[in-house]
């Protein structure tokens, strides 16, 4: 009996070792960053069973059969069908833009954005900053009710709550009036929608599609790669993007998360065509339907809707997508903006887990005397990310950066970067590896001192509700807290 039990344990131990070793080749042969690769190797080797299983679900690229590559190829094919890629280029008022770049000392960051981003910068836009769901939702609902041709919505989260039901009713009304309504939702973020609510939308004339639905038998299934964008395009003339999803919690109605503080922008002008193209590509990938024709891109035709005033703001859409490459749009733009800062670099994010390049850029600017400020939640929504974030703060404080922790009884979810009172970036991307290299994200790079002034006011309002932290505050942490933060930091490249 004892011999049989001993044999069983030996066989079990051997199987565990084999499982761990079997994970080494796909990790070593992947194109992951070295730190991420090392973290995965340590995880599958020293965390028996759980480590390899976690890798099989979240880290194994073979589990996602060419999905990022297929998405990129599908996007390129669609762009060829539409007759333009938008890659590179200058704003229409390039002479004025170049002059302003030189005056602001940020020409390098704008040049990088023009080179790495798929979508070109466009001038002549009107951009309105929206402080939270209380400002975004009334404007969005009004624009939806005014839409006469089509409504395209692409969101990570759509809640089946009071606001969600109200929005569903308005979408059904517009569909009944002959407006084409399309709704693209992420399969994980919006998994809480009931089947009855989904069919209510479909029966009401809303074309609903799922991006990477949670179906392990589906060919494009993925629990890891998600569509984190929050986009809306109405009649091809008005666009929305930022960090605000669709639900009651973004109006502060959820007592568990408290008052929700977030940020979005409403856009009119030529740059809306870039938002529309992103929706068209993602919709084509999810549904197979190709949206073609002039009706989808009227913003490029110079046709202003009745009563609209021409804008003067230069803006460029910057995206992020699954990639292990060194150069990705969002990461490169973030880094180049920070490196270009001469007077001011203010950053707001709910998740702060920077890679080495971003750490060096932030610390380097602080050491050079730039006013570097970081606004983050007192406690990040996810515990592991909270521990990892805190491990980075002391180094930045030592370099001279200032840290503001938002009130603990509310939720800070805004993502923004402000450089030298001239250059702004607002979107859906957090400052972490997931947003830069795993998820699909979108942000708007805005070169305009007027909009930058509005964003600076937003920062100041949130800093007034925050507590500034100093280096001595972190020196008092108990040893077990520092240990947890160090372990979380080691695991950070995995997420």
Return the closest-CA partner of residue 185 out of 166, 203, 168. 168
Has 161 been annotated as catalytic? no
The single residue of 262, 355, 386, 420 carrying the catalytic annotation is 420
CA 279 to chain centre: 15
Q: Is-catalytic flag, 32?
A: no
Sign of CA pseudo-dihedral 103, 106, 108, 109: negative
Task: Tell the burial category of 359 from Cβ atoms under 10 Å away from its Cβ (0-12, 13-18, 19+).
Answer: middle
Q: φ, ψ for residue 256 (rounded to 5)?
A: -70, -30
DSSP string, 453-464: HHHHHHHHHHHH
| Beta carbons of 168 and 200 less than 8 angstroms apart | yes
Tell me how far apart the alpha carbons of residues 235 and 268 are, in angstroms, rounded to a whole number: 11
Active-site annotation holds for 143: no
**Residue from 119, 284, 413, 462 carrying the catalytic annotation:** 413
> What Cα–Cα distance (Å) separates residue 321 from each residue in 68, 139, 265, 331, 435?
8, 29, 21, 10, 8
What is the distance between the alpha carbons of residues 91 and 114, in angstroms, rounded to a whole number? 10
Q: Is 330 in contact with 322 (CB distance < 8 Å)?
A: no
Helix (H) or strand (E) holding 261: strand 259-261
Is 235 considered catalytic here? yes
Given 32, 136, 331, 415, the catalytic residue: 415
Q: What is the dihedral of CA 87, 89, 91, 95, to 10 degrees?
A: 170
| Separation of first and last alpha carbons in the chain | 45
Output the six-digit token pair for 286.
């999810």
Catalytic residue among 230, 261, 331, 447: 230
SS3 content of the chain, % helix, strand, coil (to 5): 50, 20, 30
The contacts of residue 80 (CB under 8 Å, 6+ apart) are: none
Q: Could you confirm whether 149 is annotated as catalytic? A: no
Asked about 413 being catalytic, the answer comes back as: yes
Judge whether 227 and 212 are in contact, CB under 8 Å.
yes
Kindly give the pairing relationship between strand 344-348 and strand 371-377. Answer: parallel
- Name the active-site residue from 32, 119, 136, 228: 228
Residues that are catalytic: 228, 230, 235, 413, 415, 420
């Amino acid at each position: 009996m004892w011999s049989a039990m001993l044999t069983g344990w030996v066989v079990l131990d051997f199987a565990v070792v084999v499982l761990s070793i079997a994970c080494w080749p796909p990790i070593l042969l992947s194109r992951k960053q070295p730190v991420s690769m090392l973290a995965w190797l340590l995880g599958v080797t020293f965390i028996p069973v759980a480590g390899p299983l976690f890798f099989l679900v979240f880290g194994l690229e073979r589990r996602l059969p060419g999905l990022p590559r297929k998405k990129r190829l599908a996007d390129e094919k669609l762009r060829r069908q539409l007759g333009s890629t938008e890659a590179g280029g200058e704003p229409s008022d390039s002479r004025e833009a170049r002059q302003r770049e030189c005056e602001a000392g940020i020409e390098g960051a704008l040049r990088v954005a023009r080179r790495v981003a798929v979508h070109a910068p466009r001038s002549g836009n009107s951009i309105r900053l929206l402080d939270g769901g209380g400002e975004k939702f009334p404007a969005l609902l009004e624009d939806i009710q005014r839409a006469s041709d089509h409504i395209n919505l692409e969101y990570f989260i759509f809640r089946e709550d009071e606001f969600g039901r109200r929005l569903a009713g308005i979408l059904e009304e517009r569909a009944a009036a002959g407006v084409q309504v399309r709704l693209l939702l992420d399969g994980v973020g919006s998994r809480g929608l009931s089947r009855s609510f989904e069919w209510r939308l479909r029966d009401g004339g809303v074309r609903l599609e799922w991006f990477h639905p949670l179906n392990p038998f589906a060919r494009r299934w993925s629990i890891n790669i998600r569509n984190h964008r929050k986009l809306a395009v109405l009649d091809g003339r008005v666009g929305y993007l930022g960090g605000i999803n669709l639900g009651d919690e973004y109006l502060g109605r959820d007592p568990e998360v408290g008052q929700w503080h977030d940020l979005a922008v409403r856009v009119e002008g030529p740059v809306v065509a870039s938002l529309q193209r992103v929706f068209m590509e993602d919709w084509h990938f999810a549904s197979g339907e190709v949206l073609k024709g002039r009706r989808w891109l009227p913003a490029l035709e110079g046709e202003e809707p009745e009563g609209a005033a021409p804008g003067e703001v230069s803006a460029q859409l910057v995206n992020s997508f699954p990639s292990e490459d060194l150069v990705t749009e969002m990461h490169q733009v973030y880094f180049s903006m920070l490196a270009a800062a001469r007077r001011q670099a203010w950053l707001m994010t709910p998740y702060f887990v920077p890679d080495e390049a971003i750490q060096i850029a932030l610390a380097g600017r602080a050491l050079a005397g730039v006013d570097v400020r970081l606004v983050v939640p007192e406690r990040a929504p996810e515990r592991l990310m909270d521990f990892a974030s805190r491990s980075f703060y002391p180094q930045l404080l030592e370099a001279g950066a200032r840290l503001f922790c938002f009130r603990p009884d509310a939720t800070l979810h805004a993502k923004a970067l402000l450089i030298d009172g001239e250059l702004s970036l607002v979107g859906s991307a957090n400052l972490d590896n997931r947003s830069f290299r795993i998820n699909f994200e979108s942000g708007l790079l805005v070169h305009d001192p007027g909009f930058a002034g509005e964003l600076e006011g937003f920062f100041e309002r949130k800093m007034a509700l925050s507590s500034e932290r100093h280096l001595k505050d972190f020196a008092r942490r108990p040893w077990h807290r520092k240990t947890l933060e160090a372990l979380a930091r080691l695991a950070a490249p995995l997420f």
